[in-house]
Chains A and B, each alone.
Chain A
Amino acid sequence: MNTLTDEQLLERFPGTRIDHDNKAFYRGLLNRQLLIDRCGDCGHWFHPPRPICPKCWSRDIRPTAVSGRGHIHLLILLHQGPSAPGVRYDTPHPVATIELEEQSGLRFTSTIVGSDNAALKIGLPVELSWIDRGANPVPAFKLSGASQ
């Protein structure tokens, strides 16, 4: 497991707004774990990280690994966008919001790898598939049953 200090964690994510409420999420990424906040009292999942459960106001927040399975809820193709290592826009870059199987309405936004853009459709099932960007693992998704 990754046991970086807070200072070391911040160095791994320059320019990202990391604080004590969301640092577990970013530590999880470095361990190739997608940790989503879950309430220790009522079991409600929520994202992005917050210091309170929006459903029962418990402060017992537990960043918890999800299965990584879900389906595409929102889908766009960027023909231009921010520069990032390994991201080229000559082939449009897909960005998808995945509705995670753990709870209706619980969503996580990333990219989809391993398929032609023409194969991507809202509603299709996906699963987590980690990629590397610079020195950091990034949680991406692939169509269920696709290789990579």
Chain B
Amino acid sequence: MFHFRSDEKAATASAWTGDRNGLAVRGLGVTLGTRRILHDISLSARVGELTAIIGPNGSGKSTLLKAVTGEHAHDGEALLASVRVSPDNRRRLALMRGVLAQHTSVAFSLTVEEVVRLGVSVRGAHGPDAAMSVAEALEAVDLSGFAGRDYLKLSGGEQQRVQLARVLCQVGAPVGPQGPRWIFLDEPVSSLDIKHQLWVMRFVRDFAKRGGGVVAVMHDLNLTAMFADQVVALRQGRVHAAGTPQEVLTRALMSELYDCDVPVGEAPRDGSPFVLPHGARVSPGT
């Protein structure tokens, strides 16, 4: 475990990533109970890019996302725009990034608007650094007109989009007065229909293109290939490979990663990789 003074931390971060605004993770490990889930993870994610984290079930993707968003305690180092990810910085971090979990349960019967407004409350609705308005956020997730609906009566996919709208409200613009903002997403589209998978992925990629940063845990390799700028592949709690989709999403690497034959083709339109698992062989085991 490292203990740096804050100015040293900042210096280390910029030396490491060459990007003071980025997410810099070095030597990060997470132990839950007695189990070591993540070992010696190092990676960097840049603003302007969508970084996808992929890997088989149990490889530690969600744990990694929870560690770099401060939900799980970690050893090693995780800096977001030179701010150390730790409970002491929770308020600062809340203004820099939003986090969408895989599932968010809502305890009482709230309307959609009330749920989304909780995101607004982090930043406030007024002033130069104001949050995105509830209406804008609902529009961004294709739920205009849902404001008055009972959240608990929505479908799973709709609930997930409401939660994304809430996160968008918290995050506000891709770039704020204090610098770029970040969105961390844990399987944001796995419960969505294909239209809204594309809708949401386009929105978050656009968020990155406009100067924000996006880190998303992804299961769908095709969406990853289509939308990610950088792919980090985890296997058994370690970084197995990292690079552009073209570099990482290869048949050899994917077959190794998922321990199963994963045929990868090249999309005719732009040459980006795609996975077509027809006829793939699956063997039992790990």
Answer whether A and B are interacting partners: no
